[in-house]
Structure 1
Amino acid sequence: MSDPLLDVRDLVVRYGQVTAVDGVSFSLAAGETLALNGPSGCGKSSTALAVLQLRRPDSGEVRFEGRELTTLPEPELRPLRPRMQPVFQDPYGSLSPRHRIRDAIAEPLKVQGRWDPEKGPARVAELLDRVGLDPAYGDRRPHELSGGQCQRAGIARALASDPRLLVLDEPVSSLDPSVRAGVLNLLADLQDDLGLGYLFICHDRAVVRHVADRVIEMREGRVTSG
């Protein structure tokens, strides 16, 4: 078998005297959806932050595409960050209310020094179309979109970096039930087309059963099954 896309071993995250993640281990293959399931406060989101190195763990290993991330200094970690992208729970809170959608999607490319003034606008339009939005929506601001549309724009922003891994932290929990299925089907189609690995953070067992290839149950910072 090929090496896993993501391999986490004995992960520990503490906040002061509180241990939020206590020895968590799992692996994730390219093209696979692994769900972290459990109640609020069980350590799911802290695990996600540590995987993304947005919160450096106190101990343990996070290997992404074979590279150990926890010991890398930021200058060496920075080129790897585009390949690991988050999609957050609150679609409105993850996008600046002052920026048009097209500018929010273009921002990662500009930050990474990959923006082409000639081809960039067409790339943004392509990304909007890929997530099921009319490219004309690029002229709007987040408050002019529905929750489902705004989450699709957030997914387009994550895709702009050509990632291999998406860390999806409760990506449909704030959406109306009537639009959840559409976003979940979009994520499934993107995974089929692009071979993405998904670390899917969720407390809803019905959603987990629908999307996950494997499920890890967490309680009080520890893996209880999976």
Structure 2
Amino acid sequence: MSPSHPLLEVRDLVVRYGPVTAVDHVSFTLDAGETLALNGPSGCGKSSTVTAVLQLRRPDAGEVRFEGRELTRLTERELRPVRPRMQPVFQDPYGSLSPRHRVRDAVAEPLRVQGRWDARGPSRVAELLDRVGLDPAYGDRFPHELSGGQCQRAGIARALASEPRLLVLDEPVSALDPSVRAGVLNLLADLQDELGLAYLFICHDRAIVRHFADRSIEMRDGRVTRSGRQ
């Protein structure tokens, strides 16, 4: 990918569910190290947009280019090496981690799946937990033994294990207590500065968007109604 090209480029994206058009010709770009917020009321098409960006649901029309590659034409096999580079962080911190697995196993899973688990694996997991502000000893706990903020930090550690360039943050702090939100947002800002991550940030809270995002897109009824810098 040339440095002059966006990390992510979405062109005329369309997502339909039967007769309902959830995403109606949405276009945007996202540069490396940048935060772009998708803002709007419930049902406006934000989540359907990012689901299509991640290729978790194939769009009905349009293009999604990531690191210069057009993803919508790739087979599932061809997408396999791309997926670690674009990782989601979900709204529900407990729902994103299996209740049957200890935190250390959840964080280690991407390393195992991607064939990168070796003798250094346990120390790598400890480093990831420490990087997100969790005592590595918390790796021995199950998700229900953590607070919401701690569990979300563990989910972020799990996403970082894949060494992504893009994190898709789907309302990552809306389920957290107000006193905890700032800490998680500050962590994400620090990680972005340290690792050069790009964030596609879904949020309905305009105050958080103004504080956290470089640019924002407002959606309504599946369409972009406003876009600009914060």
Question: Shorter-normalised TM-score: what interval?
Answer: over 0.9
CA distances 1:149-174 after superposition (whole Å, capped 9, x unpaired)? 00000000000000000000000000
Which residue, 81, 84, 95 being the options, matches 1:82? 84
- Residue aligning to 1:185: 186
Report the number of matched residues: 225
Q: Which among 97, 100, 103 is matched to residue 98 of structure 1?
A: 100
For 2:146 and 2:23, the matched residues in 1 are separated by 36
Aligned to 1:156: 157
Equivalent position of 2:74 in the other structure: 72
State the Cα deviation string for residues 71-94 of structure 1 (Å, max 9, x = none). Answer: 001111111000000000000000
Residue 10 of structure 1 corresponds to 12
Amino acid in the other structure paired with 1:124:
V
Consecutive unaligned residues of structure 2, counting only runs of 5 or more, are: none
One-letter amino acid of the counterpart of residue 115, structure 1: W
Question: Counterpart of 1:77 in structure 2: which amino acid?
Answer: L
Pairs within 5 Å for 1:1-226: 2-116=4-118, 118-226=119-227
Cα distance in structure 2, aligned partners of 1:86 and 1:92: 14
Q: In the TM superposition, what whole-angstrom CA distance separates every residue of 1:164-195 from its partner, at most 9, and x where no partner exists? A: 00000000000000000000000000000000
Query: Could you tell me how far apart the structure 2 residues matched to 1:214 and 1:64 are?
Result: 19
Residue identity matched to 1:144: E
TM-score computed with the length of structure 2 as normaliser: 0.97
CA distance in 1, matches of 2:175, 2:146: 14
- What are the ranges of 5 or more consecutive residues in structure 1 without an aligned counterpart? none
Percentage of pairs with the same residue: 86
**CA distance in 1: counterparts of 2:44 and 2:6, whole angstroms:** 25
Q: Secondary structure at the match of 1:62?
A: strand
**Rounded Cα–Cα distance in structure 1 between residues aligned with 2:211 and 2:155:** 21
Q: Does the residue aligned with 1:79 lie in a helix, a strand or coil?
A: coil
Equivalent-residue separation in structure 2 for 1:201 and 1:52 (angstroms): 13
Structure 2 counterpart of 1:18, which letter?
Answer: V
The runs of 4+ residues in structure 1 deviating greater than 4 Å are none
Distance in 2 of aligned mates of 1:206 and 1:150: 24
Instruction: Tell me, in whole angstroms, the C-alpha distance in 1 between the residues paired with 2:95 and 2:216.
Output: 27
